[in-house]
Amino acid sequence: MASASSSSPYRIGILTSGGDCPGLNAVIRGAVCAAVQRGWEVLGFSDGYEGLLSPVRYRPLTVENTDGITQLGGTILGTTNKGRFVAKVGLGQKAQIPAEIIGEAKETLEGLGIQALVCLGGDGSLTTSEQLFEAGIPTIGVPKTIDNDISATAMTFGFDSAVECVTEALDRLHTTARSHKRVMILEVMGRHAGWIALYGGLSGGADMILIPEIPFSYDKIAKEIRERVGDGYDTTMIVVAEGAMPKDGSVSVRGEAKGEVRLGGIGQQLAVEIERRTGRETRSMVLGHLQRGGAPTTVDRILGTRFGVGAVKLIEEKKFGYMVSYQNDEIGAVPISEAVGQIKKVPPAGQMVDAARAIGIVFGD
C-alpha cells in the first residue's frame, strides 16, 4: 500500500465504479491536472468503492504518471460493478449500503486525510456516492455510461464512442447483408434506454430501430420486410437495443447476477420470428462489450477532460453532493439526488425519433 503524508494542504480521492466506459481516463487526467495546478494531492482508489475497504488499495496520481492516459479506453484504476456498495438494484429499486461498510469507507478516507472524493459512475454508482454524502462523506459525482441514460446531463462520455462502434459494425454488416440478400440484426446495449440503438442506427443506415421506449410488433416488422422486398429492397438492417420488447411480451433475459437481471437474446428471438413470418434468411449478432472497449472518440476525450476539471472546481466551491453535468455546451452542476431520481429515456415523440421516421426508419410500432 502506498503511503501519503497527511500534512498536504488539500488531498482528494478519485475512483471509477460500475461498468467501464471510454473516457474514464480522460476524466482522471483532467481532474489530476486541475488539482495539481491548485497544489492539491490526488489519490486514486482501485476497483471502485471496493478500494476503500480492507485491504485498502490506492496510489498517488500525478501529472507525470497520468501522462498519455486520455486516449486510453477502460480505466487505469480498475472498477467493480457488483460489490459491497450496491445502492440500486435494477431500475430504480434503492438498496441501503450496510452501515458498517459506509463506516469503514469513512475511516479509510479520514485516515488518509482525504477531503473530497470524486466518484465516476453510472446511475447505480452515483446513488452510492449520494448515500456516502448523506453519511457525511464529501463526494462529487461524475456521470459515466455508454448508455447515455443519466438524467440532468445532456450527454455522458462513452456514449459517442459506443455509437461510433455501432456505426462501424453496421457499415461492415451492410456489405455482407447485401451480398447475401439477408435480413441482418444487430443487438446493441441499452437496458432501459435506446439512445445507442437510435443514434447508432441512424448514423449506420439501419432500416429499423427497436428501442425499449417503443414496444414493437413482430407482425408489423414482418409486414414491413415483405413490403421492402416488394419494393426491390432485398436486405433489411435492424438495430435492436437489448432492452427492447414486443408489445405483448417482456424483455429477453440471459441470466441474473446479485439481483440484477442480465439482458440479452432479443436479436436472436427477433431473427427466429422474422424467418418464421417472412421466410427471409436472417442473421443476428450481439455487439456486446465491444461497445465499451477501445479508445475514446474525440468527443469523449474532450467531455471527459472537461468533467474532470469541472469536478475539481466543484470541490473548490465546496459543492459536495453535486454532480458535474453537461448542458448547452457548458459544464454545470446538479445535486446528485436529482440526477439519480430517474433514468433519461428516449422521448418517443421527440426530435430524434421524428428525424429517423422522416427518413423512413421504422420502429416496429
Are the C-beta atoms of residues 170 and 206 closer than 8 Å to each other?
yes
DSSP string of 175-203? Answer: HHHHHHT-EEEEEE--SS--HHHHHHHHH
Considering the rule CB under 6 A, would residue 263 count as an interface residue with ligand F6P? Answer: yes
13 or 243: whose CB is closer to ligand F6P?
243
- Rule CB under 6 A: choose which of 13, 51, 190, 321 binds ligand F6P: 190
- Which range in 3-11, 183-191, 230-238, 317-325 contacts ligand F6P by CB under 6 A? 183-191
- Which range in 41-49, 185-193, 232-240, 309-317 contacts ligand F6P by CB under 6 A? 185-193
Tallying the residues shown for the chain, one arrives at 365
29 or 144: whose CB is closer to ligand F6P?
144
Beta strands (DSSP E) in 134-177 are: 139-143
Are the C-beta atoms of residues 96 and 62 closer than 8 Å to each other?
no
Least Cβ distance, residue 343 to ligand F6P (angstroms): 11
Side chain identity at residue 29, one-letter code? R
Number of residues that bind ligand F6P (CB under 6 A): 12
**What does the angle CA 291 – CA 292 – CA 295 come to, to the nearest 5 degrees?**
100
Site for ligand F6P in 287-346 (CB under 6 A): 292
Site for ligand F6P in 221-250 (CB under 6 A): 242
190 or 267: whose CB is closer to ligand F6P?
190
Residue 120: which of 331, 313, 349, 304 has the closest Cα?
304
Are the C-beta atoms of residues 105 and 54 closer than 8 Å to each other?
no
81 or 342: whose CB is closer to ligand F6P?
81
What does the alpha-carbon distance between residue 239 and residue 200 come to, in Å, rounded to a whole number? 8
Residue 95: which of 85, 103, 104 has the closest Cα?
85
Are the C-beta atoms of residues 259 and 89 closer than 8 Å to each other?
yes
- Rule CB under 6 A: choose which of 28, 109, 165, 189 binds ligand F6P: 189
Least Cβ distance, residue 266 to ligand F6P (angstroms): 12
Least Cβ distance, residue 203 to ligand F6P (angstroms): 18
22 or 321: whose CB is closer to ligand F6P?
22
DSSP code of 116? E
146 exposure class (CB count in 10 Å sphere: 0-12, 13-18, 19+):
buried
Among the listed residues 147, 149, 160, 300, the single catalytic one is 147
115 or 252: whose CB is closer to ligand F6P?
252
Look up residue 281 and give its three cell numbers.
434468411
What does the alpha-carbon distance between residue 216 and residue 249 come to, in Å, rounded to a whole number? 9
Least Cβ distance, residue 30 to ligand F6P (angstroms): 22
Active site residue 67: no
236 or 252: whose CB is closer to ligand F6P?
252
Pattern 75-104, binding to ligand F6P, x per CB under 6 A? ------x-----------------------
Least Cβ distance, residue 134 to ligand F6P (angstroms): 24
Least Cβ distance, residue 28 to ligand F6P (angstroms): 19
Least Cβ distance, residue 18 to ligand F6P (angstroms): 7
Assess whether the previous peptide bond of 9 is cis (omega < 30° from 0): no
3 state SS of 142: strand
- Rule CB under 6 A: choose which of 13, 19, 212, 246 binds ligand F6P: 19
With a CB cutoff of 8 Å and minimum separation 6, the contacts of 193 are 147, 148, 149, 211, 212, 213, 241, 243, 343, 344, 345, 346
Look up residue 93 and give its three cell numbers.
429499486
Site for ligand F6P in 110-169 (CB under 6 A): 122, 145-147
Binding residues for ligand F6P, per CB under 6 A? 19, 81, 122, 145-147, 189-191, 242, 263, 292
Instruction: Provide the annotated active-site residues.
Output: 147
